[in-house]
Structure 1
């Protein structure tokens, strides 16, 4: 046993490594295990193998933590957001040194690995906690930015909808004037029926006589309604539900009525001149 103890201590001395006393203290129980291995060599071999496996696992966790630290630092810089923390750095000096020492596990005596692994594990936990804190703040800043952008987009959409509604209302108001109604009728007559200026001249005379191109015109005596003086007025619903408020809808119905009943506006105008209605 004296020889075994001397050998164990000799391994520590001849490595040439300078380690902190906590590491030596952590290795002390294992030194006793090594001495006892004279009686149970198989158990000791198994224990030392487990030590190295654990050390490798700890080293891997340390390297992952270092990578995460670099990643969060890069992510914060790329985001360009105020995450609510002035200092966004991650102090990895202790972990880097601990990982470098542990990386020599193939040449470091197994008796010293638990102490090195403990140092690395402690530093890993500190770095991981710092990374988690920064990540939480970054995610919160991103969520706030996303919410602000969504609110801005919603406001912009609402403003655009309002603009379009106002533009539509203005267009409708313009179209509902006598001149606007005439322009609409001229365009519809040409595009939908192929009626040119000659036919439109007849149409202009006809509907001037009937309603003066007033979409709100109403004949109290008979109930004829709108620019074409439909009787009853709700006939025009076949051209659109807005027949009471939209001159274009009334015109669309009126042109269809003329085409179906007389063929052309001039034929309808001739009939109106002859019998005073069409």
Structure 2
């Protein structure tokens, strides 16, 4: 099952996606994040029976527009860790992204002139939590995962490396395309390709099972630090092929489209606009 947050003239609404252009509204819920607050959200979504509506790419909002927490994982694909010249970690590297950073999966990303000098791409798999998870064991973690989506994590490298803390280069306003929808955990199989394109050039590719710390391990680790709530998002890290690691460095330019696709989840594509 696929669930989306769709824009309309009256606001947004949660919907069950039927095809890539049609969906059945789920009455009473403004977005997928609101729906996930209800214990029997899956049953509600499955039973939605209104008239299907058509939507276009630009009608899609970030699938969970305002999660309580967005927890990001750095250096979590083996090939990316190696290209950055680091050893495989014993524990996940965590940092946070604020909800203000999220935008629709096909929205333009507006980049201010003071932050566009070393603009990089990072295609990522996002895990969406379905119910409160506190001190969860890895073997039980799937019971707490609602589903998965795609994240287009634009990264301002010049800001990121101003200090030892990465957050400031990772959370610029409306720079993370998120969606196109949530594919429920029972409808997604790990191991397919994650690929990022800069225009027509494929710049990242890896199977999703190249993660050092998979979703279950991350839920266990994070939920032993603080609880994860329904609608919270774990952004699991990016594979090798980022522009900053290239010699010479390669960066996103004005007008460039960054597309991230994950087999089984769909794709997001954001046009870069320098302000």
Superposition TM-score tier, normalisation by shorter sequence: under 0.3
Q: What TM-score results when the alignment is normalised by the length of structure 2?
A: 0.17
**Structure of greater relative contact order (alpha carbons < 8 Å, 6+ residues apart):** 2
Question: Which structure would you say has the larger Rg?
Answer: 1
Task: Specify which structure has the higher proportion of helix.
Answer: 1
The structure where strand makes up a greater share of residues is 2
TM-score using structure 1 length? 0.17
